[in-house]
Chains A and B, each alone.
Chain A
């Protein structure tokens, strides 16, 4: 970490996540962490939880067996008793083992009990795509959770958002799925040090203002979008980058506000384009702004194939800044309305 503004420091996404966990554990006895390999000396497969079990004890930072259903269920049970558990599912592809607990229990217990039992768990999980790990260790499965009423889903991009969204999720009264992106853990940016700093769940943010076209994206896609916007700027195309940050609740108002201004939208993410989160965004834009759009809403996402391991194949299966640039050019090149 390096010093920035008085109450901010420049740090990585990994450090920002760690700081959020550290400050939550320090602030509230109800917070506890559980997951595979999260305690020291391992400190988590990606180092996010390093040092926390040493500081807060192994009865608050609990190493578990490789038992994702038990991890999720234990978090749920503890939450029913008023604890604020943060469960880590190491790699997002592993959520399949825990999905019954998340989908049939965490998401529904408030509703099914008429509000008598609540489940304020936080489920941290990370997308490992782009590292050549192959089809069972690379997927972006956030659409699975978006489809379940009762769950909130956030996908931070910058270090600032990572800290603010994770903190908000930990203290949120509902079950929150926090989707992290391992390949961006090293990205740096300014982060407020105040333990009370949160990013409200459900608020998108304009990461770069522009007038010609809106790239609606989140998570890793934000980095592609910023790269693409820089490149397109030299071609005279003024791109607005809207970072959704939360997928549920979806900030439809900010999406429509931006696209109403630019009249063109490209929706971008690493989940498959087919039935991906962008389908919901594109359909909403098309329905609400039908008469105002200058071009059809474009989508740039993952190809509908298992993610291959070989570098060249994986790169071709996943989207990229270059694909985004092409899609924006096509969208801006269309003339309608």
Chain B
């Protein structure tokens, strides 16, 4: 299945919505890197800059009650699913306004109120949990679907293969979105697997495998829409490989010695956010003033959220004993 050739335009409101998500994720990333880089605040951060189109494309296929499982490189996914910026930034900076009052940190953001059930810090580990979320949906008589977002490296884990096999065997309402950003931590993807297309791994589980341009939100959206419909109607899981790129390495501060400079420069020159802006301008969906307004609006929202976060105190030490157990303190 190859969806890149499907030329029919998506409706303007949807295209604009995807662009807004991408711009907001980009603005948030830029402000975070500026703040860490200048010493304004401290956090650990696994940047998703460059991968915004994937999140914008898939999240716009989901209902509010559909579930998302993502990873430590999850900023764009979390924003796309609707997690409030204050909760994301507050969690990253370890403040009381954070999603879990600073106890989870950058890698572990959850907001069930918008369907974000898990962000995992363990590569591949989200897929088994997604299977369980889908199992519950079926048991509870709901037609909600579960989208599991993960990287190329995850598809080499036992967790991925065990869970993908189970999702396919039980025909569960799961959509598997692989954000192939070309590097598994610091190793090129092609050095880690014999297949040239991760989507081919779907064949082993008798499920459809789609391979799309992950830097094109419309291509991601079209493929995901098919997969979501299939999952929701009882057809079982689909694996979608979105070919994309990360601009800032595995973690912020990564010297990226393993990335060829010309490869990185070419990827940044083809920035999916700018590319999509150009497309919407030429299609007349937005004019330059509209693009500028969305950009300024995103920066303003990020600044406002950050101001709230920086005004919020760090968690109090009694948090150590809270939420370890439902009914007990921390110390046994």
Contacts and interface: CB of A to CB of B under 8 A. Distances in A.
Interface in A15-64: 32, 59-60, 62, 64
Contacts of A105: 118, 120, 122, 125, 129
A80 B166 contact: no
Interface stretch (A68-76, A296-304, A325-333): A68-76
Interface stretch (B23-31, B106-114, B247-255, B305-313): B106-114
Interface string A169-199: 0001110000000000000000000000000
A288 interface: no
Contact of B162 (A70, A79, A81, A111): A70
A114 B99 contact: yes
Interface in B147-161: 158-159
Interface in B236-263: none
Given A65-B169, A249-B328, A111 B103 contact: yes
A111 B166 contact: no
Given A74-B132, A150-B324, A114 B104 contact: yes
Contacts of A111: 103, 323-324
Given A65-B165, A100-B159, A114-B103, A83 B136 contact: yes
A118 to B, nearest CB: 7
Interface string B303-329: 000000000000000000011111110
B137 A81 contact: yes
Contact of A59 (B129, B133, B139): B139
B329 to A, nearest CB: 10
Interface residues of A, number: 47
B135 interface: yes
A210 B170 CA distance: 55
B326 A81 contact: no
Contacts of B165: 65, 67, 70
A249 B332 contact: yes
A77 B134 contact: yes
Given A109-B118, A173-B327, A115 B322 contact: yes
Contacts of B184: none
B220 interface: no
Nearest to A115: B323
Interface in A99-139: 100-101, 104-105, 109-118
Interface string B152-195: 00000011001101100110000000000000000000000000
Contact of A97 (B112, B120, B158): B158
Interface string A225-257: 000000000000000000000001110000000
A234 to B, nearest CB: 38
Contacts of B324: 110-111, 149-150
B330 interface: yes
Contact of A85 (B100, B110, B122, B132): B132
A258 to B, nearest CB: 18
Interface string A147-173: 001101000000000000000000011
Nearest to A150: B324
A62 B135 CA distance: 11
B140 interface: yes
Interface of A: 32, 59-60, 62, 64-65, 67-70, 72-83, 85, 97, 100-101, 104-105, 109-118, 149-150, 152, 172-174, 248-250
Interface of B: 99-101, 103-105, 108, 110-112, 117-118, 120-122, 125, 127-140, 146, 158-159, 162-163, 165-166, 169-170, 322-328, 330, 332
Given A62-B170, A80-B133, A101-B129, 20 more contacts: A68-B162, A70-B163, A70-B165, A73-B132, A74-B135, A77-B130, A77-B133, A77-B135, A80-B132, A81-B137, A101-B159, A110-B324, A112-B104, A112-B108, A114-B103, A114-B104, A117-B118, A152-B325, A173-B327, A249-B328
The 5 closest A-B pairs by CB, nearest first: A73-B128, A77-B132, A114-B100, A81-B136, A173-B326
24 contacts: A59-B139, A73-B128, A73-B132, A74-B129, A74-B131, A77-B131, A77-B134, A77-B135, A80-B136, A81-B132, A82-B136, A83-B136, A110-B323, A110-B326, A111-B103, A112-B100, A113-B100, A113-B104, A114-B99, A114-B100, A116-B100, A150-B325, A249-B328, A250-B332
